[in-house]
Structure 1
Amino acid sequence: MKQWSLARQLLVVQVVIVGLLVAVGAALAWADVADRAEESSTAEALALAKAIAAAPTVTEAVRGSNPTAILQPYTERVRADTGVDFITIMSPDGVRFTHPNPSEIGGRFLGHIEEARAGRAFTETYTGTLGPSVRAVVPVFASGQVVGLVSAGITLSAISADVADRLLPVILAAALVLILGATATYLVSRRLRRQTGGLAPAALSRVIGYHESILHAVREGLVLLDRDHRVTLCNDGVRTLLDLPADAEGKRVDELGLPNAMVERLLSDTEMRDELHLTETRVLVVNSSTVGNSMGTVVTLRDRTDLQALTGELDTVRGFAEALRAQAHEAANRLHTVVSLVELGRPAEAVEFATDELAIAQRLTDQVVGAVAEPVLAALLLGKAADAGERGVDLIIDPDTEITDLEIPARDLVTILGNLIDNAVDAAADSEERWVRVSARTSTDTLVLRVADSGGGLPDGSRPFERGWSTKPGGARGLGLALVGQAVRRASGTVEAGQDIGGGAVFTVRVPR
């Protein structure tokens, strides 16, 4: 039986239970019907015996010379009309005047008559000439004296036959209930078999154990949503990645405080393939697929925060390479200019030109290196300055810029400042003045970064730090500033977007030290 499927075991148990309940119910119904039939037969015999004993014909006949001649036909008519098995009228001594079997007339009544001779009617169950029966014995009075006795009774076999007739509907109802119960149990069992795959309880327990182990072991986030977009299951990984509350299961996805872009995609019932979504502190790759015939949705999430940061660093390195290429190109142009001046016999002008160019480059390098203690950030600023210069944009670093003794990771600083400068250069490249101003100041408790540009500024209703929002054309835009907002929140800071005095955009970042 242990090898039986859970559905089969349930079917057997339910059928046994239903069968027992029906059997017990039928037995109780039979006992009740039997008790009621005996009680009604006793009451019927008593009422009939009293009626006969009170009849004037009986009172006169028992005192006559030949009671049997009058009473035997009378009692047989009454017996035929009422359906009782016997009516016996007798003398106070118990000598029969009437009996269904005429040969028994003149014999003594089999049963107790003492109470009736004393003037009291009573009932009893006794075995007489017709077998066991319930009977009533009633005295016949004349002038206050007991002049005869009347006994009416119904045999137990007749009562049993009546009970059997009454029990037939009960038996049919019990059989119908048993059939319906067994059918319903079979249908439930068949559905349970489909839902459990026909597994035995031990196998089902193992499957659930494996399921729970795998569910909590994987680092990736897993969420199951039903048709109403309510969370039916989520593992530990997704609780960590999305900072879900303890009571997340049973709630709709739009009640969990998730990013709007992610909520819209989950509610749209369209499948996602490696889509990038940003939360307050993480970069997530989201995939989703529909389960079965629109039964729900399976959503998986992978943390790509570190990978995205490394990608940002790679972009920065590429920027450095581009800046070096630009500087190499400019240096080659300047070197050609110096060589040409020497060849033209104008060495003084060549020396002056080379000295001026070197002074300009050294001045910017000295300013950045002296103001920024973090070498990675200093290299970023120098690279961005060269890149901006190649695009015809003047990158201005405020003279009072100073960044020292920072507790924020250099990676986050590169993400914040690099993306802000890139967006500012893109905006300034399309303007007439073409400048970007960068300032950084540190106090005892706060680092303040400010990047302004000469571009066209931000339109009304802008959401620059929301994933996917951008003023630039193209579907792959809208990530840089979202990463800036994420890095700032990760450092417990704030970032604000506003309008510069000249009309361009200005971004201000404040990060506690």
Structure 2
Amino acid sequence: MVAVTSRRRTLAGQLLILQLAIILVVLVAVAAVSLAQSAATFNRVEGRRVAALGEQLAGNALLRDRLNRPAPGEAIAPLVQHTLTQSGVTSVTVADARGRVVSSTDPTLVGGQLVLGDPGVTRGRSWFGELELGRSRELVAQVPVLGAREENLGRHLGVVVIGEASPSWWQRLVGASSYLFTYLGIASALGVAGSWLLARRIKRQTLGLEPREIAGLAEHREALLHGIAEGVIALDPQHRVTLVNAVGRRLLDLPEHCLGRSLAELRINGRLRDVLAGAGGGATPDQVVVRGGRVLVMNRTTVTKDGRRLGSVTTLRDRTELARLEQELGSFRSTTELLRAQTHEFANQLHTISGLIQIGEHDEVVRYVDTLSRHRASLDLTITSRIHDTAVAALLMAKSAAAAERRVELRVSERTGLDRLPPEVAADVATVLGNLLDNAVEAVAGDAATGPAWVEVELRQDTASVEIVVRDSGPGVAPELATEVFTHGFTTKAAEGGERGIGLALTRLVCHRRAGEVAVTNTDEGAMFTARMSTFPTAPQGAR
């Protein structure tokens, strides 16, 4: 058995049929209105005419005289026929005072009882309307015949009936207007042509897709948008949100009803607005933005079709946890670099000792070893005497060795003082201090034009917070960037790339998580970063 499936009509075909049906309904309605107007005009005009003819015949002296005598039919028949011939009406009928038809142009009515449209006709009142007379329905006027002589003055003598046959609907339609069919034909042609053009235009705008295909695309799009783990947001050329999935709305902290609203209405400003709006022009891969306590990596692509710009699509990835893992890996990397730096330093010192032994300067070997021991002990004593938290002290020792390898002097301020901290607080302090030191060393390393390169650390503690101050001898930070370096993921490193700048962004996140803040200012000698954090074990989450 072969299953036969009926071919579905296309969207353009459905629209064309629908438009043609609408045009047909309009034409029928116009024809009905024309018929109603024609009927009203006929009743008004012909009603007045038959009424006038009836009054004229009822006032005829011969008719009045003969109706008052026996067998009046033969005498008034010529008068009735003459009235019919002269007026061109359909029928003329005369009845006596008892309502019996005595003369009529329709022989079938003679001798019968006259049907009155209004009983008031026998009391001297005229009436006109539609009645069934014989085998046809006519518009009739019934006029009473009243006596005029002294012996029958004002007495009801009979009734004169003048009838005009009502035209058929086809006759009324033809007679409604000599141009009606022309108007209807032109309207039909214009309607059909307009419907066909509309169907073609809609087919082009829908790219030839049928409704079921459009519905399928919409369902697939929704499934795709809400099925991927990344955030997606689309903007039109006026920077209004045209599409966003649930992940994108959550990462950007957008309200539920954000579609159709502009970036300004959604209060998206600063770095995030620049990336979404494409301030730099073209595609912007792997842009780091801080939003709502998260480190986001954004990729923006401009969408064009036939040379026309349709808007842009931006994907978002939450790199907060990955950035934290990178910082943890960075601590292991710092340890590796420290071991490498110490290996390099020890190798140089051993080479020096070996050379002194070979040339026989044994006393100089002893003095050299004593000098190295005193220098190491002095550095360890300086750090451990002022910083009692072992994690932070170890970090400073490692950073000092790494900085020395890059010919940067790491100083510890005399005002430094830090007690032992809870483990979670010490970890956050080490993260912030390490990021600030790395940025400061990178900023001053290799810059011999301003003299010896140095970085100074100052740690201060009170009952509720820890303050970290890192000064350097570098070129400083431009004033217009002082409030943007952390939100933009700004970096003082000369190299640029998608992986740069996350350290400062994480620094700000950690400070906010600890109910603190971080800022940068310029001094006479260089830049100064100041970070403050609460030491309470459960600090509230920071603001955005």
- Whether TM-score is above 0.5 comes out as yes
- The reply to whether residue 138 of structure 1 matches residue 143 of structure 2 is yes
- The reply to whether residue 506 of structure 1 matches residue 511 of structure 2 is no
Report the CA distance shift for 1:106/1:154 in structure 2 as closer, same or farther (over 3 A).
closer
- The reply to whether residue 260 of structure 1 matches residue 236 of structure 2 is no
Offset of residue 491 of structure 1: 4.2
Corresponding position of 2:488: 467
Aligned amino acid, residue 320 of structure 2: T
- The reply to whether residue 290 of structure 1 matches residue 306 of structure 2 is no
Q: Is this contact kept in 2: 1:63–1:147, CA < 8 A?
A: no
Q: What secondary structure, in the 3-state scheme, does the structure 1 residue paired with 2:206 have?
A: helix
Q: How large is the RMSD of aligned CA atoms in angstroms?
A: 4.2
Alpha-carbon distance in 1 for matches of 2:369, 2:471: 32
Higher mean Cα deviation, 345-354 or 116-125? 116-125
Aligned amino acid, residue 503 of structure 1: E
Q: Is this contact kept in 2: 1:33–1:167, CA < 8 A?
A: no
- The reply to whether residue 348 of structure 1 matches residue 363 of structure 2 is yes
Aligned amino acid, residue 239 of structure 2: H
Could you tell me which runs of 5 or more consecutive residues in structure 1 were left unpaired when the two chains were aligned.
Answer: none
Alpha-carbon distance in 2 for matches of 1:106, 1:4: 63
Alpha-carbon distance in 2 for matches of 1:175, 1:60: 55
Report the CA distance shift for 1:225/1:459 in structure 2 as closer, same or farther (over 3 A).
closer
Equivalent of 1:94, from 101, 104, 119?
Answer: 101
Report the CA distance shift for 1:225/1:485 in structure 2 as closer, same or farther (over 3 A).
same
- The reply to whether residue 112 of structure 1 matches residue 115 of structure 2 is yes
Alpha-carbon distance in 1 for matches of 2:132, 2:35: 22
Aligned pairs, number: 499
- The reply to whether residue 246 of structure 1 matches residue 256 of structure 2 is yes
Alpha-carbon distance in 2 for matches of 1:105, 1:307: 109
- The reply to whether residue 405 of structure 1 matches residue 429 of structure 2 is no
Aligned amino acid, residue 392 of structure 1: R
CA deviation vs aligned residue, 1:324-381 (integer Å, no higher than 9, x gap) = 4433333233223223333343323312211221232244345546736464x54442
Corresponding position of 1:495: 518
Corresponding position of 2:352: 337
Offset of residue 128 of structure 1: 4.3
Q: What secondary structure, in the 3-state scheme, does the structure 2 residue paired with 1:286 have?
A: strand
Matches within 5 A, 1:52-71: 52-53=56-57, 55=59, 58-60=60-62, 62-63=64-65
CA deviation vs aligned residue, 1:106-141 (integer Å, no higher than 9, x gap) = 955773368655534334645546743232221233
Q: Is this contact kept in 2: 1:18–1:181, CA < 8 A?
A: no
Q: Is this contact kept in 2: 1:137–1:152, CA < 8 A?
A: yes
Matches within 5 A, 1:186-197: 195=206
Report the CA distance shift for 1:69/1:359 in structure 2 as closer, same or farther (over 3 A).
same
Aligned amino acid, residue 287 of structure 2: L
Q: What secondary structure, in the 3-state scheme, does the structure 2 residue paired with 1:497 have?
A: strand
Q: What secondary structure, in the 3-state scheme, does the structure 1 residue paired with 2:300 have?
A: strand
Alpha-carbon distance in 2 for matches of 1:175, 1:447: 91
Equivalent of 1:454, from 473, 487, 491?
Answer: 473
Q: Is this contact kept in 2: 1:42–1:123, CA < 8 A?
A: no
Corresponding position of 2:232: 222
Q: Is this contact kept in 2: 1:53–1:149, CA < 8 A?
A: no
Corresponding position of 1:154: 164
Could you tell me which runs of 5 or more consecutive residues in structure 2 were left unpaired when the two chains were aligned.
Answer: 67-71, 536-544
Higher mean Cα deviation, 1-10 or 451-460? 1-10
Alpha-carbon distance in 2 for matches of 1:152, 1:17: 45
Q: Is this contact kept in 1: 2:241–2:261, CA < 8 A?
A: yes
Offset of residue 153 of structure 1: 0.9
Alpha-carbon distance in 1 for matches of 2:315, 2:169: 75
Q: Is this contact kept in 1: 2:417–2:461, CA < 8 A?
A: no
Alpha-carbon distance in 1 for matches of 2:284, 2:481: 28
Offset of residue 257 of structure 1: 3.9
Offset of residue 223 of structure 1: 0.8
Offset of residue 162 of structure 1: 3.0
Equivalent of 2:454, from 412, 435, 456?
Answer: 435
Offset of residue 449 of structure 1: 1.3
Report the CA distance shift for 1:264/1:72 in structure 2 as closer, same or farther (over 3 A).
same
Aligned amino acid, residue 115 of structure 2: H
Equivalent of 1:275, from 270, 286, 309?
Answer: 286
Equivalent of 1:422, from 438, 462, 468?
Answer: 438
Equivalent of 1:234, from 236, 244, 252?
Answer: 244
CA deviation vs aligned residue, 1:149-201 (integer Å, no higher than 9, x gap) = 43211113468623553288777777777776666666666566553863454
CA deviation vs aligned residue, 1:252-274 (integer Å, no higher than 9, x gap) = 12443445233224334843242
Alpha-carbon distance in 1 for matches of 2:175, 2:225: 64
Alpha-carbon distance in 1 for matches of 2:367, 2:277: 68
Report the CA distance shift for 1:493/1:245 in structure 2 as closer, same or farther (over 3 A).
farther
Offset of residue 475 of structure 1: 4.9
Corresponding position of 1:18: 22
Percent identity of paired positions between Structure 1 and Structure 2: 27
Report the CA distance shift for 1:225/1:461 in structure 2 as closer, same or farther (over 3 A).
closer
Q: What secondary structure, in the 3-state scheme, does the structure 2 residue paired with 1:36 have?
A: helix
Offset of residue 215 of structure 1: 1.7
Q: What secondary structure, in the 3-state scheme, does the structure 2 residue paired with 1:4 have?
A: coil
Q: Is this contact kept in 1: 2:240–2:261, CA < 8 A?
A: yes
Equivalent of 1:166, from 176, 182, 207?
Answer: 176
Aligned amino acid, residue 400 of structure 1: G
Give the alignment's TM-score, normalised by structure 1: 0.79
